[in-house]
Amino acid sequence: MMEKIILLACISLFFLGCGNFLDINPESEVVNDDMFSTAEGVEDALYGVYMSMVKEDMYGGDMSVLIPELLGQNFVTDDGYLIYVSRLDNENSYARNMTKKMWQGSYLVISYLNNIIENLEQKSVKDFKYYNLYRGEALGLRAAIHFDLLRLFAVHINSTDEKAKAKAIPYVTKYTFKVTPFSSVEEVYEKIIADLKEAEICLAEDEVLMPKIRKGGEKGFTGARELHFNLYAAQAMLARVYWMKGDLENAKKYA
């Protein structure tokens, strides 16, 4: 009997300990609602996004250099599974596993961004001095990642495969566990452009914050705007998106 009491006590302490442990989030975690009560918390959440984006499955390797260069035939390889990646042969398990990690990593970061955006919707410029910058960056990054997913996983907008065009990628705008339905290629472009257009408006202050000649020694969130998704990043991205879509008039305008 005594042994059972001791065992139950140990189990209770174990679960209490787990509860306390789960209440503590690492500093770079971007899904903690408590972060969004202060400007510093919002900034930490955005920094967490950037840190996640430079992992190898995303722009630290696969999405920035390896896979685009293989598909563009700028890199030639005879290295095992990379041959299958270069052929877009996702029937091969190794190639499929690699692209799967890229897909999962991208949508994980998009979920972080949606969490930031949704929490910002409960705030305003009265709460945070750089509210518009925070929102603009999050919207711009969400659009940019979706654009790369569209380029890598969907058919081109001029494709004659109507079935494939109708099911491009999910454009996820909610922080939720529910599965987002696939959008068509055209719909994804519309959503990307809408996010970038709003980002451009939100980031207008960068015209002042990013002078042609910097004095150096700037600090804080606005101290190095060239390292963030800023106004000019939004405009450059719009040029790329319009060009890829075939809208050369707007592409020229933003370029």
Q: How confident is the model at residue 13 (pLDDT cuts 50, 70, 90)?
A: very low
Q: What is the pLDDT of residue 33?
A: 60
What CA–CA distance (Å, rounded) separates 100 from 77?
Answer: 20
How many percent of the chain have pLDDT more than 90? 59
Instruction: Taking residues 128-146, report their average pLDDT.
Output: 97
The pair of three-digit structure tokens given for residue 82, joined into one six-digit string? 């990379």
Which residues share a beta bridge with 182? 170
**40 pLDDT more than 80:** yes
pLDDT in tens, 114-126: 999 999 999 999 9
212 Cβ contact list (under 8 Å, min separation 6)? none
Average pLDDT over residues 26-54: 81
- pLDDT band for 242, please (50, 70, 90 cuts): very high
pLDDT by residue (tens digit) across 199-241? Answer: 999 999 999 998 887 776 678 899 889 999 999 999 999 999 9
**Average pLDDT over the chain, rounded to an integer:** 86
pLDDT higher than threshold 50 for residue 23:
no
Please name the fold of domain 38-210+218-254.
1.25.40
pLDDT of residue 62: 84
Domain boundaries, the chain: 38-210+218-254
Bigger pLDDT: 103 vs 10? 103
pLDDT at 75: 80
Which pLDDT value is given to residue 217?
A: 67
The tokens describing 228, both together, are 């963030």
Q: What secondary structure does DSSP assign to 123-190, as a single string?
A: --TTT-TTHHHHHHHHHHHHHHHHHHHHHHHS--TT-S-HHHHHS-EE---S-SSSPPPEE-HHHHHH
pLDDT at 27 over 80: no
Beta-bridge partners for 57: none
- Please report the pLDDT score of residue 86 as a whole number: 81
Report the alpha-carbon distance of residue 153 to residue 48 in Å, rounded: 25
